[in-house]
Structure 1
């Protein structure tokens, strides 16, 4: 059977082109504030995922990091039926988008060369609202040529890329950066000062250092001082927190601890793209996965991309029987094309899924405020600032202390110590998201860059 990325639709179910034309003002720093953002995620940040994130409350969405040289060798193709825009390389689409997401779409560039970064930005600027420079991904595919987290060790190059992008792009296109913490807070603040002075609109801080991995707790307490430092610079820059946020409700905790203007979600969104809502969907095998696969087929999303994303989705269960859930997941793993899932997903009503997404976005009425906006930072109860760990070694000590076993005496059962009650607690991801079924693919991916 053919594995075309967009199989033909039967004549009995013709697809109708819907090309909404909504007028949005250019992005400003305020658009980066008081919201939940979808993080740039390699593989997981596909077009269907971004669209569902917008439907369920994301204020802005970041596309996956795309290396500058990769996009320079593509051809822009527009699907005359769906309106999907694909930047095709030699064998597949390097980047896909749709005009409906343009007002909310931030394109993340992987680059270590100001000139190449500008050339890459000019290639796609007609289809995005802003550009973000990846200065945080620690994986070899990003750092091997001096990109990603490698830029943290070369601030001159990092800032020269941002300056070049700002000078080359028209004023209605925003420029931002996503960094990680440096081992010392003092060095982090020095770097942040230089980055802010390049003319960026927003700065995202992944609250881990380059050597920390996702299994290690993010040191979000360090962000408060950074936010206050940026605000004292008086440029109105938005500071976005990234790391260990589990969804809409949990973002209140993150903002309370950090004072961040917004929160960016990665892993929780990879598991459940509806986590941007106060009431994320449950029983995803029934309520979400079939529609996601239908939308993927309708939009011509390459099957391998849709399959990978579908195997990552996992959430709380209320009405789904374990055997039904297992059967569907196993079917997805075995499937080699969309049609292999007919018995689980048919009828192929991707047009309906698409129409619902368009309707949800149109309800914003030309505004970027999501249906469930976060309260302004001024209304968030903020804890007094306590200087955070200033070094990786101190962070590691805290991690070891957190992992130390706790001895509970019978006399203390049912009682909560005052010190534990006062300490901000990070709920286990599995508990909050109901991650009781691991992805069957067995693949692990560092999604936050």
Structure 2
């Protein structure tokens, strides 16, 4: 990786940021969000997701111990914030995404989780505890999906984070379904009572894999259960969503407040738009290359993300051209080798375009929520009358919502109805690590190695620590 060396004379750039004060309970509702994805959820991917309509973005999981051994540095030219380990950047972000950024922590220790959160809290809007990933890098030492079988520890971490963080920083959790739906609801109840702002449910069990159909029909019961608890938190669906249009179907079927997209976003970060880009080897790949180089994103990571891209073709030679570009990128060893594909290194212009898109969206949201002159002059009695009417409308709309759900189920041939007492499939032969497979890691001072983390990013920036 080429390292950009900056002079010490220019002052740090004043990074633009969206005009959004803090996340609220409502911030997690009525949206389509980017899932935490190992490697694929790199900074350029998150920025393009925000540009094309993602309401929130989750950063890839970072193990608590890994970030504790990092050093925060800021690029004075681009404003990129890097948390660098001994030999590489463990995690990177930019202030423009902060109002929408959820940092996912991998942890099995309340104290370490809090320390990790305090390390990066100045650069994020919220924290999410990973309680669902079944991969070894997450389940080692009892993290990730291993927490599903240790609810006491899971809830103690969430409680510790909520107590340690200021109220403007949200705390959320991401889980999977348990083999027993009854046990799932019991776990959900305990998690919700820790004071979280939202709960994401991956509609697969721990031993299920991406090839197994996500059981989105099981989420409806979870949503209604949380609502019955009297909690106003959002329940976010994760699993088998193909894009913004498909998210509407999933919300209608499940009642989920928002939908999280992973694999579809990995293939095309513009899937959050109702009109996602096609022919992305021409419409997205060049801009992605330019932005990655401008932000000094590690080449290997950029190359990996690009290798996952795919989209429909609208031109006769689209498939052949995509193959040519893909092969060129695979053979390349640096950004210099793909200069022809990038079409000129104007990454700063691409970045400014993303900034304008994010700020325009936030401005439109603020304008939409701004009260009119007549609303501003409503008396106390009128306000009370409006509140009463709103309550009555909500009560009246509940049967309508139930009728709609029944209509959807009938239209689908009752595909989404789960018989009482049905167990969630939990295939035993999917090579998911068991609790007995827990591995112990030695401290960095003893082992001489950085703590295990699922987010290897590469090269360390040569800039001044802040």
TM over 0.5: yes
TM-score by length of 2: 0.79
Match status 1:139 vs 2:135: yes
The answer (yes or no) to whether the contact 1:57–1:277 under 8 Å persists in 2 is: yes
Q: CA deviation at 1:365?
A: 3.4
What is the Cα-based RMSD across aligned positions, in Å?
2.6
- Please name the residue that 1:391 is paired with: 423
Q: Which residue of 1 aligns with 2:326?
A: 329
Going from structure 1 to structure 2, the CA distance change for 1:248 and 1:24 (only over 3 Å counts) comes to: same
Q: Is structure 2 residue 72 aligned with structure 1 residue 76?
A: yes
Tell me the equivalent position of 1:342: 339
Q: Which of 228, 247, 252 does residue 251 from structure 1 map onto?
A: 247
Superposed counterparts of 1:173-188, under 5 Å:
173-188=169-184
User: 1:88 and 1:363 mapped to 2: Cα distance?
Assistant: 32
Measure how far apart 1:252 and its partner are.
Answer: 1.2
- Aligned residue pairs total 386
1:227 aligns with 2:227: no
Q: Which moved more, 1:150-159 or 1:16-25?
A: 16-25
> Which secondary structure state, in structure 2, belongs to the residue aligned with residue 279 of structure 1?
coil
Q: Does 1:60 align with 2:60?
A: no
2:173, 2:198 within 8 Å by CA — same for their partners in 1?
Answer: yes
Q: State how far apart, in whole Å, the 1-side matches of 2:85 and 2:366 are.
A: 35
Q: In the TM superposition, what are the counterparts of 1:197-346 in structure 2 within 5 Å?
A: 197-319=193-315, 320-346=317-343
Tell me the residue number matched to 1:91.
87
1:119 to 111, 115, 120: 115
C-alpha distance in structure 1 between counterparts of 2:367 and 2:330, whole Å? 34
CA distance in 2, matches of 1:7, 1:307: 22
Query: Does residue 356 in structure 1 map to residue 353 in structure 2?
Result: yes
Supply the distance in 1 between the matched residues of 2:259 and 2:366 (Cα, whole angstroms): 14
CA distance in 1, matches of 2:195, 2:137: 28
Higher relative contact order (CA closer than 8 Å, sequence separation 6+) = 2
Structure with more of its chain in helix, by fraction: 2
Secondary structure at 1:116 match in 2? helix
Q: Deviations over 1:407-426 (max 9, x none)?
A: xxxxxxxxxxxxxxxxxxxx
Off by >3 Å, runs of 4+ in structure 1 = 5-8, 365-371, 376-382
Change (3 A) 1:367 1:204: farther
| Structure 2, unaligned runs of 5 or more | 7-11, 369-393, 410-416, 428-453, 455-466
Distance apart, 1:25 and its partner CA:
2.4
Select which of 16, 41, 44 maps to 1:20: 16
TM-superposition CA deviations, 1:210-260 (whole Å, max 9, x none): 000000000000000000000111120100000000001111111111000
Secondary structure at the counterpart of residue 185 of structure 2: helix
Cα shift at 1:322: 2.7
* Contact in 2 for aligned 1:132/1:176 (Cα 8 Å): yes
Instruction: Find the residue that maps to 2:102 and give its secondary structure.
Output: strand
Find out whether 1:158 has 2:154 as its counterpart: yes
